Amino acid sequence: MTSVLSTAEHSEQDTAGTQEVPKQPSKHWTTAFAFAAGLVILIATGTLQISWSDLPAVPGQVWHYLQLMFASPDWSRLPRALFEMWRSISMAWIGAILCVVVSIPLGMLAALGVGPRWLRIPLRMIFAVIRAFPEVIIAIILLTVTGLTPFTGALALAISGVGQQSKWVYETIESLPKGTTEAVRAAGGNVAEVTRWALWPAAAPSLISFALYRFEINIRTSAVLGLIGAGGVGSMLTNYTNYREWPTVGMLLIVVVVVTMVIDAVSGAIRRRIMEGGRARAVATNV
């Protein structure tokens, strides 16, 4: 018995000795990438012509202007600020609605298994081109046609949102389980029926959540569009900043931050309700 065990141990040792140790992964590419990234940072820093001697004074200047804006905000113009903020919210809401109405059908047509290849690839290319342009650039282009109105900002938000929203749509459609789709097709359903009875019921909660998230993004972007004359609280902020009326600027910033945080909180709660459902939330509360 002892001889059998020793023979087995020797065989295991021989087998372990013949096993090849895996090679350590090469770090050449990681090192090369880190070197290239560092080189790009150095070149970018060198070409910006930064005055390093002025950097120590920046914190003091920031603190000075913060005191000018928030030490004693001018609340006398609060009604006008709330009205302009409402215009920015309206601009964001209209842009989000237009974006959703256009992006959901186009995004579904761009999804694999829904739209034909000759239509799917051009649509995805168009979405990529739209995403390459910031909302401000789109608004500047539209200014030549529609003029300096809040409608210009709403159109810019809608067009810019189509690129991203459509991408979310076709990625959501492609990530759905295939069982329901195959069942509808096996029953003789065409593309329209598959989309109506299989894809849309499964994707609707995610798509509605994405639409609300797009509205949150539009709220913040609408203030930026106002800086170029598209209306809303951004235009008011630009005017008072140009005239160096810092107490009013501070009041406007407080309004923008508070309203944006409230809308984000409400929209986030609605999105969680949509994704989790009332039953799941009730179970979690009881537990």
> 91-134, pLDDT tens digit by residue?
889 999 999 999 999 998 898 888 888 998 999 999 999 998 88
User: Which tokens belong to 218?
Assistant: 């539009």
Q: Indicate the pLDDT class of residue 219, thresholds 50, 70 and 90.
A: confident
Residues 6+ apart with CB under 8 A from 260: 219, 220
Average pLDDT in the 224-241 region?
Answer: 81
Q: What is the pLDDT of residue 13?
A: 53
Spatial distance between the Cα atoms of 155 and 222, rounded to a whole number of angstroms: 11
- Has residue 8 got a pLDDT over 60? no
Express as a percent the part of the chain with pLDDT over 70. Answer: 87
Q: Is 76 buried (19+), middle (13-18) or exposed (0-12) by CB count in 10 A?
A: exposed
Q: What is the pLDDT of residue 128?
A: 92
User: Which tokens belong to 157?
Assistant: 């938000």
Q: 78-280 in CATH: which number?
A: 1.10.3720.10
Spatial distance between the Cα atoms of 151 and 248, rounded to a whole number of angstroms: 26
Helix (H) or strand (E) holding 81: helix 78-109
Q: Mean of the per-residue pLDDT values for the chain?
A: 81
24: which DSSP letter? P
Higher pLDDT, 58 or 126: 126
The pTM score is 0.74
- Has residue 176 got a pLDDT over 90? no
Boundaries of every domain in the chain:
78-280
- Has residue 5 got a pLDDT over 50? no
Q: Indicate the pLDDT class of residue 271, thresholds 50, 70 and 90.
A: confident
What is the biggest distance separating any 2 CA atoms in the chain, rounded to whole angstroms? 99
